[in-house]
Chain A
Amino acid sequence: MLLGPSLTVSLILFSIGVAGVLIRRNAIIVFMCIELMLNAVNLSFIALAQQLGREGQVIVFFVMAVAAAEATVGLAIMIAIYRHKNSLNVTELNLLRG
């Protein structure tokens, strides 16, 4: 019965991920923080699946698959951006400014 501590860890991981996305400027770090958030969600899924049934564990596999696909596309975009701007600083990527 590790539900409480598991969810707490999940919450902490998720918060770190959110804070990273908001604060960090390097696109790679921002990307890693997104992964962190996904995995925080995965952790809470698994913890809750112990109590509520296996469907939660199945969802985790989906998330991992989507995250892998996202990582592929995301990293490819980042390589393209780096070639274009010679930087991965997200504050400089503001071409759509109003």
Chain B
Amino acid sequence: MPASVGWVWLVIVLPFLGFLVNGTLSFVRPDAKRVVSAVGVGVLALSFVVALVVTGGVVAHPPHGHPYVLTLWSWMPAGSLQIDAALQVDQLSTVMMLVVTGISTLIHIFSIGYMREDPGYPRYFAYLNLFVFFMLILVLGASFPVMFVGWEGVGLCSYLLIGFWYENKPFADAGKKAFIMNRIGDFGFLVAMFMIFHATGSLSFVTVFEEAPQLFAVGGTTITLITLALFMGCTGKSAQIPLFTWLPDAMAGPTPVSALIHAATMVTAGVYLVARANVLFAMAPVSSLVVAATGAATALFAATIAVKQWDIKKVLAYSTISQLGYMFMGVGVGAYAAGIFHLTTHAFFKALLFLGSGSVIHALHHAFHATHRHDDAQDMRNMGGLRRYMPWTAALMWIATLAIAGVPGFSGFFSKDEILAMTFARGQEAGVFYVLWIVGAVAALLTAFYMTRMMLYTFHGPTRTGEEEERHLHEAPWVMTGPLLFLGIGSVVAGVLNLPAVLPGSGWLHHFLEPVTEGSTAYLPEFHLASATEWALLGLATLIAAAGILGAWNFLKPALLQPASLATPESGLQRILLRKWYVDEIYDALVIRPIMWLSERTFWKVVDVGVIDGVLVNGSAKTARAVGWIGSRLQSGRVATYVFFFVLGSILVLRALLR
């Protein structure tokens, strides 16, 4: 192990120190905002620098076969269960570590401006530092249980930050919803861990992945169940069908939180898990197909909802769900590097979009605040024409929009195209992959459409904020636009990490990640596309992006839009889309209400009141009282009665003795 890799523990410890300091300050000196900012951002920047050093070590001396494992201490030595608190540094965790620390640093800087006037400023930075700490444990853990610690920890921080403004009941409820839906997925993760331990006798990544080919039959029941249970965990954490409804509600948290946790890092944990366990998933073709199909379905489904949302953050939330669907499609078809590539580029442009929307909301909020209006600062119908007031934000968000829409040259084009191309390549093997490819392509068209729609309604056309408010609209401070600039650069150039095969210098990330994914190559068909086919797919992707953007540009008329308070309610399909296909209502009717009914009618009224209270608690008291009553009847106070029982007893004893 190179000496620089040995410093990887510092990457994790620094954010935790930041959490301790800021957490203490939130109790002791809540007003010390300068110290809090310096500590909160400083530890992250240092952590990023250490991460770069570690990455340098990995690039200079890439681990082959065995990843670098840094064992810190023995965590659970219990018989045959030996779990170490160990960190694993290989190509995959390095990429994730850089994405997490890099994006986190920028978002922390942005938060200084966004949260400046919030009374919970130190608490916010403490939670954010804690989140980064857990996220780094998640991506650097060397075994399933260590990863699970991070997995649960980021869920906790997500809950804390969604409900950051907990005085507002819907916000606190959104936090609970996210936590509970994640628990459903975590159950799958736990079951998968139990099954893995039962089958392999170990939980560390190195052992499990190296022994899996000998222990499991390819496509066997055990491996299929294990991977499906793992994927159940992914659907919860990464907001896939059926457990995706928490993510739109999670927009209740501060916008930088949405950017960091619910777009760039935490929600991608599921993709990371599948890529990490690529050997297991490659050995279970059925599970992989489930992953890809769920991803494709989610990509399309969420994209349709995003088309008709008015809340700017809801558009981005459904867009995130949709893009996560693409990532799962990638790792599902076995293109693990492509999934991680899209994860990386998405982290840049989606963080940029969220932070940009944060700037917009920030500006509108201030304008409404200045004129004492109580309109929704997140509703796009109350925006419009903001490019005149916020040119930097508008320009940078357009870059991110072009990236996510898949315009050639921008990062999203390459990453999305690679996933679609890989899916298309698998079509030679089974026709179902062509279906997935078509679904993905339609979702790409919708993506370009709804993103352009969002930009049109927010930044173009007439300003609908009201004349009084217009005077208070202004660009965000540099501390907020600065991080956007870096993310904008990333959104443009991140594509060079993994260019398509037909271009020179192609597939760098793919080759970099090969030591991690090579275990799975034996079980996957070789992806091969003719050069002409690849060019055709690239051209088609370009056409799709252009069609989506130009379609929205020509079809939508921001000039005709009414402010939210004056708008007429939608009808028909538009209404269904606005109400998100009524998924929340369906879940309410199919899951929540039956459970509530069952709880009330059975568990409360029958089991609790009837059995536990009635039979057990009151029943035992009644029995004791009845026995006591019988005993007290014997105490008649009459000598003759006592003598009778005495004689009776004597006779019985004698009879027993003389028998």
Contact = CB atoms under 8 A, between A and B. Distances in A.
Q: Do A and B bind each other?
A: yes
B635 A93 contact: no
Highest count of chain B CB atoms <10 Å: which of A18, A97, A98? A98
Interface string A60-98: 000000000000000000000000000000110111111
Interface stretch (B258-266, B444-452, B591-599, B637-645): B637-645
A52 interface: no
A94 B642 CA distance: 11
Nearest to B628: A98
B77 interface: no
A2 interface: no
A21 B643 contact: yes
Interface in B618-659: 631-640, 643-644, 647
Contacts of B643: 21-22
A90 B639 contact: yes
| Size class of the A contact interface (CB-based, 8 Å) | 10 to 19
A93 B631 contact: no
Given A21-B643, A22-B644, A22-B647, A90 B635 contact: no
A96 B643 CA distance: 15
Contact of A94 (B634, B637, B644): B637
Contact of A95 (B637, B640, B644): B637
Contacts of A22: 640, 643-644, 647
Interface in A1-45: 18, 21-23, 30
A91 B635 contact: no
Nearest to B640: A22
Contacts of B636: 94, 97-98
A93 B634 contact: no
Contacts of B640: 21-23, 90-91
A94 B647 contact: no
A97 B635 contact: yes
B372 to A, nearest CB: 79
Interface residues of B, number: 13
A25 to B, nearest CB: 8
B638 A94 contact: yes
B635 A18 contact: no
A90 B637 contact: no
B91 to A, nearest CB: 85
Contacts of B631: 98
Nearest to A24: B640
Nearest to B636: A97
A90 B642 CA distance: 12
A96 B641 CA distance: 13
Contacts of A96: 635, 637
Contacts of B644: 22
B80 to A, nearest CB: 62
Nearest to A92: B638
Nearest to A34: B643
A4 to B, nearest CB: 18
B561 to A, nearest CB: 88
Interface in B141-168: none
A7 to B, nearest CB: 15
B498 to A, nearest CB: 91
Contacts of A91: 638, 640
Nearest to B643: A21
Contact of B632 (A18, A23, A94, A98): A98
Contacts of A95: 637
A38 to B, nearest CB: 15
A22 to B, nearest CB: 6
B624 to A, nearest CB: 16
B647 A93 contact: no
B633 A98 contact: yes
A93 B639 CA distance: 8
A93 B647 CA distance: 20
A97 B637 contact: yes
A98 B477 CA distance: 88
A18 B640 CA distance: 10
Nearest to A97: B637
A93 to B, nearest CB: 7
Contact of B635 (A21, A23, A30, A98): A98
B143 to A, nearest CB: 68
B559 to A, nearest CB: 95
B170 to A, nearest CB: 63
B647 A98 contact: no
A21 B647 CA distance: 10
A98 B638 contact: no
Contacts of B637: 93-98
Contacts of B638: 90-91, 93-94, 97
B11 to A, nearest CB: 78
Nearest to A94: B637
Nearest to A18: B647
Nearest to B632: A98
A90 B631 CA distance: 22
A19 B203 CA distance: 82
Contacts of A90: 638-640
B473 to A, nearest CB: 89
Contacts of B633: 98
A90 B638 CA distance: 7
A98 B639 contact: no
A2 B407 CA distance: 130
Contacts of A98: 631-637
A94 B641 CA distance: 11
11 contacts: A22-B640, A22-B643, A23-B640, A90-B638, A90-B639, A93-B638, A93-B639, A94-B637, A97-B637, A97-B638, A98-B637
Given A91-B638, A93-B638, A97-B636, 14 more contacts: A18-B647, A21-B643, A22-B640, A22-B647, A90-B639, A90-B640, A94-B637, A94-B638, A95-B637, A97-B635, A98-B633, A98-B634, A98-B636, A98-B637
When A and B form their complex, which 10 residue pairs have the shortest distance between CB atoms, in order from nearest?
A: A98-B635, A97-B637, A94-B637, A98-B632, A96-B637, A90-B639, A94-B638, A21-B643, A22-B640, A22-B644
